[in-house]
Structure 1
Amino acid sequence: MPGCRYSAQTSFQNIRTDNEKMQQLLEEAKIYALSSRPVMIYGQAGIEDYLIAEAIHNNSDRRNGLFLISLH
């Protein structure tokens, strides 16, 4: 949307889970945040993938840049 601004606010510290697979995914996501490459998260639409995308962005060197997300 033109003129629309959003500041990504989620960090890995804000995401809580007891699920072992989700904990493993979050550890992998922390590694992806260190990369300068774009990251594509693919799966069923849901709040979890959005929060992970925000956390990756906020823990990357591009945290002060634009946060782009495409919902399909």
Structure 2
Amino acid sequence: MTEFWGQIEARSNPERGSGDRELLRMILVGSPDGVREKIAFFHARGLKEQGLWSPLLPTPNPGEVMSICTCYRAKTN
């Protein structure tokens, strides 16, 4: 299982947050059609552009994929 998550980290490959921003990830998990549909839903409502999501990534469960969207937020003190 550790090897699986290492592959996910390598594929998403975002920069780490710096001192003034925090790295956040949103993860969708489900069937390929369901994940694509939800990404399109978020895009249509102006929440997250489709291009910000990773390609569909396999999970350990047959027929299930995930996609990761990386974003940042300003850190507050």
- Is TM > 0.5 for Structure 1 vs Structure 2? no
More helix by share: 1
The structure whose Rg is larger is: 2
Provide TM-score, normalisation by structure 1.
0.31
More strand by share: 2
